[in-house]
A and B are shown apart, each in its own frame.
Chain A
Amino acid sequence: MNRVFLSFFPKLRRYKMSPSLLHFLVATVAAVGCAASFAQTPPSASVAPPAAGSAAASVNAADARLPPPSPTGQRLFDAARDKLVQVRILTRAGSSQASVGSGFLISPDGTTLTNYHVISQLVLEPQRFRAEYVRVDGKRGEVALLGFDVIHDLAIIRLEGIANAAHFNLRDASDPLRQGEKIFSLGNPLDLGFAISEGTYNGLVERRLYDTIHFTGALNPGMSGGPGLDEQGRVIGVNVAGTGGELANLLVPITYVRALIAQPRDVLPDKKLIAAQLKVHQATMIDALLARPLPKQALGPAEVAVGDDKLLRCWGQSNAKPDKLYRSESISCSLQSSLFINQSFTTGTVSWSHTYRTAEKLGAMRFSGWQSRSMSGTMFSGLSFAKPTRYLTRPHCTEDFVDGNGVSFRASICVKAHREFDGLFDMNVSATSVDRDTEGLSSALDVKGVSFANGNRLLRAFLEASTWKK
């Protein structure tokens, strides 16, 4: 499932001005969306990079008309007007608007909730960016960052110069939402002005590491950080992301909001806090994956790890055609756990794939060549993998013949260290079987933002799970 963040980056407007680029983005989003819908795309494509997400958001802008609100919606909007704010991230040098999102007051002293991704630049580069709020009546002021939860994409801020303000109340935990219940989302879509969107609560999204509300209603860029309300005007969640699908959008449940509010404010909300939260996330993720032996699935005569069906989404593909000299089948799985750090860096994900190939008619020599080229294509598909970036070192690798559980592999492990977040790594294992003449199994796993020990645990469990059954 794609995840499209809903903060609004005015830079993207420049790209919207180009018709050819717009067509390209429309085609891209449509392709990704369709692929996700019809389950024909590997899960790696489902973790939309922020740029693509923002692009999708820009495309949605072309169809930004929200459904007309019901009388309940009108009532809620009237009551909410003074409790909503637009959060703007500005450059310190020129006070140019870098991005905008929404927020909502939760206490009379100006304490306000929004998304982490709305204010991420303030956390990562406070020397270059500052934030201000704009209320419905046009009043504006400075914003102070109190804390954030990068795992659930939440942030808590204080609006300077606010006292005795009207604010939202949270829906009580003892009163859970029921599927089909009408809910409303508020925010400032596309920097056009505050708006309300009516929709339906459709339960929690399946196969996600953390609970996320499935909101069937319109969300648009700029509404990130706005509140999700029930018919009584109580907060039930926070707008966070679109999925690229029509009216299928995501809210952060109020449970996590309560946890963030309850956190002590004795830790500076800076990069170190991000690192600490990423470490919690990776431990949660790996423990969830390895809570029990990795579930397996047959792939040709082999059996491979596919992961817990309640956590991971898997797709299959086959190119078996009668006129071909070969046949291949593949399975790709991914965990919907991507964490937004900034617009060019996400982490905290796991994805893997297995491909079984067979080609008796090719013979051993040509088959080994085919296997090799397949691995080469995988390895060189992204040369950026080799380059150190602002956030990651270049990879360091080792390789060997490995005798696993009934399968002999040629295997390599590659590791990149996170430059900004100590103790975290991106790791990859690639392995291809070398024990059968005209059939083979190739597997690869990518895990991002894990401790070295946890990464090794997962990589090893992954390799151990592969076996020949016939």
Chain B
Amino acid sequence: MEEVAHVVVATDAPVTVSGEPKIGDQLARDQGAFVEVLDKHDTVLHRIRYDRLPITIGNTYRCDHVLDSDDTRAQTVLLAHDESGALSVQSTDHARFWAPGGLTHRWSVNPDQAFVVAGERLRVRTRDYVATRSTAPSAIGWLGGWMTLAAVAAALAVTALQGWFADIDGDRLSGYVTGALGMVGVVSLWSSVWAIVSRLNGKSSHFLAHLSLASLAVVAIAAVDFVFDSAAFSLNLPWLQRYGYLLLALSLAVLVWCHTRYIVRARLGSALTAAFAVGLTVFVLQATTYYNLRGNLSSSLTMTEMRPPGWRIANGASLDAFFANGASLEKRAEDSKPEKPDGLDLGMFSDE
């Protein structure tokens, strides 16, 4: 819940030494407010101006503002200035309301938050209300323009570098072009989806900003993956690669967070939810795949991501130690006998 702001109605009242307006003058100069009726999405259905307060709001015909409500229980609140001059809402029939701040029968008006009277969502604003500036930070500015070009170029360079490492048959242009097109295709598709999200959430798609971020992510993920694989090899930490899918899930979660929070500029909760959902989905998919491959030589993945001998830091085991460490495999294999066969048994003529 956002912080509750007390709304001071008067703006041009004489100012005291302490900087506070004089209450009496303030009340005399401005007595008005707007009462808004909202739907569940906080869209304003009606806005009614009241030049003088106090007024009563409720679903009974003696109210100044009569709510068109299905609620049969008579509920009425009083909108008035309190002793300090702040605009407040007070229940007139001793009923307690859920209002910003909790269960109460009197609360200060928060111009950004709704309260419910007789089943209707209401909001009160004064005529000099200024919408609170969005607290979501923005990276739209620096992610556009030249940054887009630089980010896409960096992503292409990383893709080309990966292709070069993998290409031992000499320079094959088609391989590089295919790799680059594949990367650009994926990044563009990803950015387009986020652009649609941006457009749905605001007035602009910010496609270039999304493209920049996705391209930077390609570079970052490649770099992090390389560093982790190198560390796993150098320090003899197979688990680092074995659970590398956690890193991928985390990276994508961070990427989604950045898209949601800094370009779409969604609320904190929405950004966190989106990042968590995507990260969790990727993690579950990866973990399921890994689980299905458990026990495969994939558990020796450092052999599939080796580095030059000079990068090795960890010491080697002697043959005695190596085979002594392997002694536990006998028991582990025996213990796994109760596991039922799963998946496709490639015995073509299996009589099972």
Contact = CB atoms under 8 A, between A and B. Distances in A.
Interface string A227-264: 00000000000000000000000000000000000000
B238 A399 contact: yes
Q: Which range contains the number of B residues in contact with the other chain?
A: 35 or more
Nearest to A412: B300
Interface in B87-115: none
A276 interface: no
Interface string B309-352: 11010111111011101101110111011011111111111111
Interface string B165-177: 1101110000000
Interface string A144-167: 000000000000000000000000
Nearest to B339: A388
12 contacts: A323-B170, A359-B168, A367-B308, A372-B306, A378-B297, A380-B296, A380-B297, A384-B344, A395-B297, A400-B316, A403-B317, A413-B326
Interface stretch (A194-202, A279-287, A329-337, A342-350): A342-350
Given A359-B168, A410-B302, A460-B323, A394 B339 contact: yes
B309 A437 contact: yes
A370 B303 CA distance: 11
Given A325-B168, A389-B347, A430 B303 contact: yes
Given A344-B350, A344-B351, A393 B337 contact: yes
A452 B329 CA distance: 9
B298 interface: yes
A267 B37 CA distance: 91
B293 interface: yes
Contacts of A378: 297
Q: Which of B170, B306, B336, B345 has the most CB of A within 10 A?
A: B306
Given A9-B349, A387-B341, A402-B319, A435 B309 contact: yes
Contact of B293 (A367, A383, A398): A383
10 shortest interchain CB distances as A-B pairs: A344-B347, A386-B296, A364-B308, A401-B316, A412-B300, A394-B295, A417-B333, A379-B297, A376-B304, A403-B316
A399 B341 contact: no
Contacts of A384: 343-346
A50 interface: yes
A456 interface: yes
Contacts of A362: 168
Contact of B303 (A50, A399, A404, A460): A399
Given A11-B349, A343-B351, A386 B292 contact: yes
Interface in A318-369: 323-326, 342-345, 359, 362, 364-369
A375 interface: yes
Nearest to A456: B323
Contact of A372 (B305, B347, B349, B351): B305
Contacts of A216: none
A24 interface: no
Contact of A379 (B300, B307, B328): B300
Contacts of A323: 170
Contacts, number: 215
A373 interface: yes
Contacts of A364: 308-310
B325 A400 contact: yes
Contacts of B170: 323-325
Contact of B315 (A344, A366, A401, A428): A401
Nearest to A426: B333
Name B's interface SS: loop
B300 A430 contact: yes
Q: Which of B306, B309, B333 has the most CB of A within 10 A?
A: B333
B26 interface: no
A403 B326 CA distance: 15
B328 to A, nearest CB: 8
B303 A375 contact: yes
A44 interface: no
Nearest to B304: A376
Interface of B: 164-166, 168-170, 236, 238, 292-300, 302-310, 312, 314-319, 321-323, 325-326, 328-330, 332-334, 336-337, 339-352
Contact of B310 (A342, A343, A437): A437
A425 B316 CA distance: 27
Contacts of B309: 364, 408, 434-437
Contacts of B350: 343-344, 390
B317 to A, nearest CB: 5
A51 interface: yes
B294 A386 contact: yes
A419 B347 contact: no
A343 B347 contact: yes
A402 B349 contact: no
A425 B168 CA distance: 38
B307 to A, nearest CB: 5
Contacts of B166: 369, 373
A419 to B, nearest CB: 5
B319 A404 contact: yes
Contacts of B308: 364-365, 367-368, 437
Nearest to B166: A369
A388 B333 contact: no
A41 interface: no
A459 B332 CA distance: 18
Contacts of A432: 303, 306
Given A386-B298, A402-B318, A456-B326, 5 more contacts: A383-B296, A394-B295, A394-B339, A396-B333, A436-B309
Contacts of A397: 295-297, 299-300, 329
B333 A387 contact: no
A56 interface: no
Contacts of A404: 319
B270 to A, nearest CB: 39
A2 interface: no
B297 A325 contact: no
A86 interface: no
Contact of A417 (B312, B336, B342): B336
A47 B166 CA distance: 33
Given A383-B296, A385-B296, A408-B316, A396 B168 contact: no
B227 to A, nearest CB: 14
A344 B329 contact: no
B306 A419 contact: no
A326 B168 contact: yes
Contact of B332 (A388, A390, A396): A396
Nearest to A432: B303
A380 B300 CA distance: 11
Contacts of A464: 319
Contacts of A46: none
Nearest to A414: B297
Contacts of B333: 393, 395-396, 415-417, 425
Contact of B165 (A365, A389, A410, A436): A365
Contact of A380 (B169, B295, B298, B347): B298
B55 to A, nearest CB: 73
A266 to B, nearest CB: 29
A379 B296 contact: yes
Given A393-B336, A402-B317, A375 B304 contact: yes
